[in-house]
């Protein structure tokens, strides 16, 4: 038996970030930026108005002053109207400030108020004198030209992508998403919509693995189910073009454990008993093609636990993330439960405020797949603990 940490270390040693590629911003959501993105210009690009109102010369715009409106500047206008003594320009939010103006008087601060007028009025009366540079957003206030907009290593979410666009770029260099193939093995497996004959069950692991891998940032390229037939499994493996293949089932010591027979045999994958419950039988190796192969046990809860403990950190590292682990919090056990001696317990759990409880009250059976649906976390109990008592502090891996 090897420890969870030993197995994980073996996997992570074989795992590093994939190459980067230059992509349109819309295709880069969720990927990790692989270059420092600097701004092509100051942000904002030019002094512009923060309000709909009038661009004025402050010296003239005293309370009660009547100003002649000699120009109309909309957002996008390239005009720079000159303003003489007693003159002002109507201006809209985001429009460039005329060079002769040094403050904005908002519509609200004039006798005409905010009523929309198609053409500018001939004149306005200023109600309140503006302070210096009032309502002017200065050029470069946010950042100067050449400043770092988004740093290499940053995961690209909506805010980061919009910042890159503002900095003047429509493509970015990002680490590509790992391409993942999913193979379910088992002669008992049928489509979820099928009618199970005696001994048959709906295939659910590929749904779990594909969804979890996508949530972790992977791209799913192949999903297949094969029977417990070595030739069929070999064929399925030979057809793959992927960075990672995740298999489930057939990894144990049963008579028909086809994954162990094929991958552990000629393909050189190492199989171990890992001191964890559920999820003891685990295989991991790098195939001749360079593809990483994860051979997970078949029970759905074991698959979920194995994915979180071993596969997800590897996918995150391939995708270039530096944070590869889920957040962990401490919660108080709402009830007591038994733990397997000498093995880390990875128990589907429900967090309720400050407390945590097992997602099933029927023990920690790895076949209790329905319990996964109410679980939002895994309680991680160290190998040396044999029983969690009500009120004990428990480490909880939050799945969100
Ligand atoms: P195995 O490791 O192949 O012996 O599978 C262990 C248990 O998990 C058996 O009860 C299988 O029927 C079940 N199982 C294996 N693969 C799947 C799958 N893809 N979907 C649902 N259950 C599965
Ligand atoms: Mg099987």
Confidence at residue 171, expressed as pLDDT on a 0 to 100 scale: 98
Please, which residues have CB less than 5 A from ligand 2, an ion?
Answer: 186, 249-250, 298
Pocket of ligand 1, candidates 183, 184, 186: which has the most ligand atoms within 8 Å of its Cβ, to mutate?
Answer: 186
- What is the per-residue pLDDT for 102? 97
pTM attached to this predicted model: 0.91
Question: Which of 299, 301, 307 has the most ligand 1 atoms within 8 A of CB, as the residue to mutate?
Answer: 299
Amino acid 255: pLDDT = 75
Average pLDDT along the chain, 400 residues, taken 10 residues at a time: 97 98 98 98 96 97 98 96 98 97 97 89 97 97 96 98 97 98 98 96 97 97 97 97 97 86 92 96 97 96 97 98 96 96 96 94 64 90 97 96
Q: How far apart are CA 312 and CA 309, in angstroms?
A: 7
Closest ligand 1 atom to residue 257 Cα is 3
Partners of 272 in the β-ladder:
282
Please tell me the predicted confidence (pLDDT) of residue 322.
95
Domains observed in the chain: 4-16+177-318 (3.40.980.10), 24-43+141-175 (3.90.105.10), 46-138 (2.170.190.11), 328-398 (2.40.340.10)
Ligand 1 first shell, C-beta below 6 A:
184, 186, 188-189, 201, 203-205, 248-252, 254, 297-300
Phi, psi at 59, each rounded to 5°:
-60, -30
Atom of ligand 1 nearest to the CA of 188: 12
Token output for 291: 């593809």
What is the DSSP annotation of 131-175? PTTTTEE-TTSSB-TT-EEE-TT-B--HHHHHHHHHTT-SEEEEE
Could you tell which of 249, 262, 273, 302 is best to mutate to test the pocket of ligand 1, judged by most ligand atoms within 8 Å of the CB?
249
């Amino acid at each position: 038996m090897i420890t969870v940490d030993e197995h994980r270390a073996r996997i992570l040693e074989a795992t590093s970030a994939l190459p980067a590629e230059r992509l349109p911003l819309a295709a880069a959501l969720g990927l990790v930026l692989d270059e420092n993105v600097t701004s092509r210009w100051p942000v904002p690009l030019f002094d512009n108005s923060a309000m709909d109102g009038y661009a004025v010369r402050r010296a003239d715009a005293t309370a009660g002053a009547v100003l002649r409106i000699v120009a109309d500047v909309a957002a996008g206008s390239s005009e720079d109207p000159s303003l003489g003594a007693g003159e002002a320009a109507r201006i809209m939010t985001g429009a460039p400030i005329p060079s002769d103006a040094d403050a904005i008087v908002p519509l609200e601060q004039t006798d005409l108020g905010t009523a929309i007028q198609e053409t500018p009025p001939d004149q306005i009366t200023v109600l309140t004198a503006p302070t210096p540079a009032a309502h002017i957003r200065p050029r470069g206030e946010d950042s100067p030209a050449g400043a770092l907009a988004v740093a290499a290593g940053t995961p690209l979410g909506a805010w980061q992508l919009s910042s890159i666009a503002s900095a003047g770029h429509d493509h970015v260099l990002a680490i590509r998403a790992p391409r993942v193939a999913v193979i379910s093995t088992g002669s008992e497996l049928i489509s979820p919509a099928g009618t199970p004959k005696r001994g048959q069950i709906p295939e659910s692991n590929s749904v779990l693995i594909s969804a979890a891998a996508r949530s972790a940032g992977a791209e799913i390229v192949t999903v297949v189910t094969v029977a417990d037939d070595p030739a069929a499994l070999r064929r399925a493996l030979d057809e793959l073009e992927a960075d990672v293949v995740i298999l489930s089932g057939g990894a144990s010591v049963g008579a028909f454990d086809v994954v162990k027979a094929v991958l552990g045999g000629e393909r050189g994958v190492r199989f171990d008993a890992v001191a964890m419950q559920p999820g003891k039988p685990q295989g991991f190796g790098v195939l001749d093609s360079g593809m990483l192969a994860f051979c997970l046990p078949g029970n759905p809860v074991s698959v979920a636990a194995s994915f979180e403990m071993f596969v997800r950190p590897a996918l995150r590292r391939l995708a270039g993330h530096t944070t590869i682990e889920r957040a962990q919090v401490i919660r108080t056990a709402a009830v007591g439960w038994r733990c397997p001696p000498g093995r880390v317990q990875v128990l589907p759990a429900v967090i309720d405020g400050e407390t945590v409880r097992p997602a099933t009250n029927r023990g920690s059976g790895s076949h209790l797949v329905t319990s996964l649906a109410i679980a939002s976390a895994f309680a991680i109990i160290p190998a040396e603990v044999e029983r969690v008592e009500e009120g004990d502090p428990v480490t909880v891996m939050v799945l969100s």
